[in-house]
Amino acid sequence: MIKEIIVVEGKDDTAAIRRSVEADTIETGGSAIGAAVLQRITLAMQRRGVIIFTDPDHAGERIRKIVAAKVPGCKHAFITRQQAEYNGDIGVENASAETIREALANLKTEYEGAVSELTLADLMKAGLLHHPDAASRRLEVGNTLGIGYCNGKQFFKRCAMFQISREEFEAAVEQLDK
């Protein structure tokens, strides 16, 4: 049984989680998260802790940002778009049980007020900003680091939030360049 309560988008995600692990979930009901849902997530955080496990798409990232901003200290589980895709549909509900268990075994924990070892210049040098292939490079490096895909500004914030070390970052970039 996973101690923390997992925040997901909907009932199909809850079903996929329960097929994979023994856990409780809170469903946001989509990206329009109501005050009552945020109150339940806040209570869950106080009592058991929270893992945010949303779809690797725009709506999922929006939900992740809203919940993380309102309920600091959440843990995050990430899967790639490829792991979440089935017949053109992207969602946690499409991920295999093995993929879900792996994501939950490799949680990232945010740290409030975290300062990154990395600089924007490091991201530029690695071709993750202001580069013709920056988006695809961020996707690959983000997947390697287990922090998912996001734009350059969010990538930099996630590196700080999840305390990605310079060594981890450089190893992920080196793996991409091979």
pLDDT (0 to 100) of residue 79: 96
CA angle 11–17–18, rounded 5-degree value:
90
pLDDT (0 to 100) of residue 32: 83
Q: Residue 135 to residues 64, 123, 138, 139, 177: CA-CA distances in angstroms?
A: 20, 12, 5, 6, 15
Q: Round to whole Å and give the CA distance between 129 and 89.
A: 28
Asked whether 60 and 9 are in contact (CB, 8 A), the reply is yes
CATH architecture of 1-110: 3-Layer(aba) Sandwich (3.40)
Please, where in the chain does CATH 3.40.1360.10 lie? 1-110
**pLDDT, one tens digit for every residue, the chain (178 residues):** 999 999 999 999 999 999 999 999 999 998 889 999 999 999 999 999 999 999 999 999 999 999 999 999 999 999 999 999 999 999 999 999 999 999 999 999 887 777 788 999 999 999 999 999 999 999 999 999 999 989 999 999 899 988 899 999 999 999 999 8
